[in-house]
């Protein structure tokens, strides 16, 4: 039976195998003595650290040599500088001779920085040529789990590994985690029993696995043993503070437990351990912003712009630009994207697209169209031109552009989202619903498609459908607070609550409680009239109507008292508040 390795060890082993596999037959093909020494250090001595400086010198004089770029990328991975490895490995990937060797290490580097979609794409590229490549299947399985978007695919990859190699017990870890995530508890229990038995067998010399640790904690949670699950998660986090699968699962657990402050601590520690991990930085920033701590979130995002790796810094600048767009600071956003492009030696198509999108939002369509002309991805060109058409009041032309882009890129959440907006503006609500649903399934965190879909349903008096849209993969989506307010109003309108729903209250930032009470009052008024709505505001727990923080609740009370023909009482309330 094969030895079960930790996930990180498995990835390092895959990288090592790829490095050792570099053919010795290439030696003597006119390369310099310096490259010959580097080959010996890496292939024979496995001393990757000693090759970093010589490789940097070679890159300065031979920047387009794919072997030099490949070996530099492998040296960076071997010395735990995976974020820095992205650019040289991408350069090596452009060479047919080195593509096969570079593709999986590049996927590994993408995983390290949280670029899960890119990593999955690289694994798929490897599997197109070698469908039974166990290393590619394993890496894709883990990556799909870390992305939290494709547990079914992760399970399929793990099962495929076991079909190819029934004794490969490494595959049992992602398989177990995927089964738990898919709520196939009985199957997960059997898989977990098998894993635990293997790990108890000291004769096998097995080491700790973050995947197994996570599975044990998750299984305790599924059985309702919450205290035991919390203890196990804490043990796992102590051992593996930056493991992606564990972090993802632990965040869900502590959030559901009503301990968001612990989730924040977990992300802070993970980011400290792995500052190049864009996914951890983004998750922490979004969490801070959801709590109304925009300045703190900006500080965390801006800290990434000083990272020594230009690509990591570029990604942080791009993230800062996206935040500025969201806050309506368009000139700051454009400056941030310009800084990102200056650092991005890869000329990232996605960065170019994001920059063009910011230009559209900032009301600079001509610049966006000019930028579109330089785009290497045809789908991006169509999407930018569609965005310009949408922004300039031509949804019909926009929809045609989006349709053209979707022919080339059908699984693009952003394109689906904008196609939905164009259809909605044309009054084609059936098409809009279809596009928004598609966008949500592709990536629920990329857009507010779920919220737009909910509003369409609510406007058509399909309240249960609206609630279903709002409950689709909550957490980390844009405009979560607005979604909670809409959920509160609909639930009150349906007569299900006369107070802010506990589930909403637990997730809602404290400073938005007044807004939630106002939303509650609106729903109660639709169901039972303004007098009942005013009573709901007065009885709202934790709301002090003389405190400016709850001004929205006070406004709702005064409005509903007026509608209930009790204006004098409302005026008295307003006068009391004004004196405080």
Whole-number CA gyration radius for the chain: 27
Predicted pLDDT of residue 60: 80
Tell me how far apart the alpha carbons of residues 346 and 315 are, in angstroms, rounded to a whole number.
12
The band of 195, judged by pLDDT with boundaries at 50, 70 and 90, is confident
Quick one: DSSP state of residue 4?
P
Predicted pLDDT of residue 578: 63
Tell me how far apart the alpha carbons of residues 366 and 377 are, in angstroms, rounded to a whole number.
19
Q: Is the pLDDT of residue 410 over 90?
A: no
Q: Tell me the torsion sign for CA atoms 191, 196, 201, 207.
A: positive
Q: Is the pLDDT of residue 346 over 80?
A: no
Predicted pLDDT of residue 61: 85
Query: Tens digits of per-residue pLDDT, 424-440?
Result: 999 999 999 999 999 99
Tell me how far apart the alpha carbons of residues 205 and 387 are, in angstroms, rounded to a whole number.
57
Contact 168, 162 (CB under 8 A): yes
Contact 140, 127 (CB under 8 A): yes
Predicted pLDDT of residue 580: 58
- Give the count of beta carbons closer than 10 Å to the beta carbon of residue 311: 24
For the chain, the average pLDDT equals: 86
Tell me how far apart the alpha carbons of residues 60 and 88 are, in angstroms, rounded to a whole number.
12
Average pLDDT over residues 538-565: 90
Predicted pLDDT of residue 367: 96
Contact 56, 284 (CB under 8 A): no
Predicted pLDDT of residue 483: 96
Q: Is the pLDDT of residue 503 over 50?
A: yes
Query: Tens digits of per-residue pLDDT, 27-62?
Result: 334 445 789 999 999 999 889 988 988 998 888 888
Q: What percent of the chain has pLDDT over 70?
A: 91
Q: What is the DSSP string of 287-343?
A: HHHHTT-HHHHHHHHHHGGG-SSHHHHHHHHHHHHHHHHHTT-HHHHHHHHHHHHHH
To 10 degrees, what angle do helices 463-470 and 449-459 make?
Answer: 170
Q: Is the pLDDT of residue 209 over 80?
A: no
* Residue carrying structure tokens 């009470």: 517
* Residue carrying structure tokens 């802010």: 500
Average pLDDT over residues 352-364: 93
Terminal alpha carbon distance of the chain: 74
- Give the count of beta carbons closer than 10 Å to the beta carbon of residue 127: 17
Contact 161, 168 (CB under 8 A): yes
The band of 180, judged by pLDDT with boundaries at 50, 70 and 90, is confident
Q: Is the pLDDT of residue 7 over 70?
A: no
* Residue carrying structure tokens 């806050």: 327
The band of 486, judged by pLDDT with boundaries at 50, 70 and 90, is very high
Of 96, 134, 89, 133, nearest in space to 111 by CA: 89
Burial call 490-501: b when 16+ CB within 10 Å, e when fewer: bbbbeeebbbbb
Instruction: Identify the residue with better confidence: 160 or 78.
Output: 160
Query: Tens digits of per-residue pLDDT, 327-338?
Result: 999 999 999 999
The band of 376, judged by pLDDT with boundaries at 50, 70 and 90, is confident
Tell me how far apart the alpha carbons of residues 312 and 310 are, in angstroms, rounded to a whole number.
5
Contact 276, 307 (CB under 8 A): yes
Average pLDDT over residues 9-24: 34
Q: What is the DSSP string of 89-103?
A: HHHHHTSHHHHHHHH
The band of 9, judged by pLDDT with boundaries at 50, 70 and 90, is very low
The band of 22, judged by pLDDT with boundaries at 50, 70 and 90, is very low
Predicted pLDDT of residue 65: 92
Tell me how far apart the alpha carbons of residues 488 and 482 are, in angstroms, rounded to a whole number.
10
Burial call 183-205: b when 16+ CB within 10 Å, e when fewer: eeeeebbebbeebeebbeeeeee
Tell me how far apart the alpha carbons of residues 232 and 236 are, in angstroms, rounded to a whole number.
6
Provide the residue count of the chain: 580
3-state secondary structure of 154: helix
Predicted pLDDT of residue 368: 96
The band of 385, judged by pLDDT with boundaries at 50, 70 and 90, is very high
Predicted pLDDT of residue 577: 63
Query: Tens digits of per-residue pLDDT, 314-326?
Result: 999 999 999 999 8
Of 186, 183, 107, 105, nearest in space to 147 by CA: 107
Q: Which long-range CB contacts under 8 A does 496-502 form with residues at least 24 apart?
A: 498/524, 498/532, 498/536, 498/539, 499/536, 499/539, 499/540, 499/541, 500/540
Tell me how far apart the alpha carbons of residues 251 and 263 are, in angstroms, rounded to a whole number.
5
Predicted pLDDT of residue 2: 38
């Amino acid at each position: 039976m094969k030895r079960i390795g930790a996930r990180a060890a498995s990835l390092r082993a895959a990288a090592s195998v790829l490095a050792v596999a570099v053919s010795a037959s290439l030696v003597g093909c006119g390369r310099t003595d310096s490259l010959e020494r580097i080959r010996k250090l890496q292939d024979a001595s496995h001393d990757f650290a000693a090759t970093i400086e010589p490789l940097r010198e070679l890159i300065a004089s031979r920047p387009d040599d794919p072997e030099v770029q490949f070996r530099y990328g492998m040296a960076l991975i071997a010395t735990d500088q995976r974020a820095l490895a992205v650019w040289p490995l991408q350069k090596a990937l452009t060479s047919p001779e080195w593509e096969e060797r570079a593709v999986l290490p590049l996927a590994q580097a993408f995983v390290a920085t949280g670029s899960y979609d890119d990593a999955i794409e690289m694994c798929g590229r490897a599997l197109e040529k070698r469908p039974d490549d166990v290393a590619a299947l394993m890496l894709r399985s883990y990556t799909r789990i870390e992305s939290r978007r494709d547990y079914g695919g992760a399970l399929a990859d793990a099962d495929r590994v076991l079909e190819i190699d029934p004794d490969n017990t490494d595959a049992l870890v992602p398989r177990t985690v995927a089964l738990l995530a898919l709520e196939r508890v009985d199957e997960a229990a059997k898989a977990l029993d098998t894993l635990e038995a293997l790990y108890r067998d000291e004769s096998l010399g097995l080491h700790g696995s973050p995947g197994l640790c996570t599975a044990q904690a998750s299984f305790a949670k599924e059985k309702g043993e919450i205290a035991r699950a919390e203890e196990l998660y804490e043990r796992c986090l102590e051992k593996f503070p930056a493991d992606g699968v564990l972090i993802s699962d632990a965040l869900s657990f502590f959030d559901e437990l009503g301990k968001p402050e612990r989730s924040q601590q977990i992300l802070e520690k993970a980011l400290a351990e792995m500052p190049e991990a864009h996914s951890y930085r983004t998750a922490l920033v979004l969490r801070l912003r959801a709590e109304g701590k925009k300045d703190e979130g900006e500080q965390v995002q801006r800290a990434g712009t000083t990272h020594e790796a230009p690509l990591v810094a570029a990604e942080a600048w791009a993230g800062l630009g996206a935040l500025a767009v969201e806050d309506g600071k368009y000139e700051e956003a454009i400056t941030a994207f310009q800084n990102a492009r200056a650092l991005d030696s890869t000329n990232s198509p996605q960065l170019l697209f994001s920059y063009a999108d910011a230009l559209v939002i900032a009301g600079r369509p001509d610049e966006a169209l000019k930028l579109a002309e330089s785009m290497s991805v045809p789908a991006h060109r169509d999407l930018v031109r569609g965005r310009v058409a949408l922004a300039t009041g031509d949804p019909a032309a926009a929809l045609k552009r989006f349709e053209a882009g979707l022919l080339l890129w059908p699984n693009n959440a952003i394109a689906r989202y904008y196609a939905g907006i164009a259809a909605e503006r044309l009054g084609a609500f059936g098409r809009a619903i279809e596009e928004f649903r598609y966008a949500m399934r592709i990536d629920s965190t990329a857009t507010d498609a779920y919220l737009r879909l909910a509003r369409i349903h609510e406007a058509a008096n399909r309240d249960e459908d609206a609630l279903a849209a709002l409950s689709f993969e909550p957490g980390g989506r844009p405009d979560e607070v607005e979604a909670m307010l809409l959920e509160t109003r609909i639930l009150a309108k349906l007569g299900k609550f006369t107070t802010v729903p506990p589930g909403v209250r637990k997730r809602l930032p404290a400073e938005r409680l007044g807004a939630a009470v106002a939303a509650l009052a609106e729903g109660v008024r639709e169901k039972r009239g303004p007098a009942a709505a005013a009573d709901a505001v007065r009885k709202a727990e934790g709301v002090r109507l003389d405190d400016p923080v709850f001004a929205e609740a006070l406004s709702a009370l005064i409005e509903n008292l007026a509608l209930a023909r009790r204006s004098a009482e409302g005026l008295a309330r307003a006068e009391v508040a004004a004196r405080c």
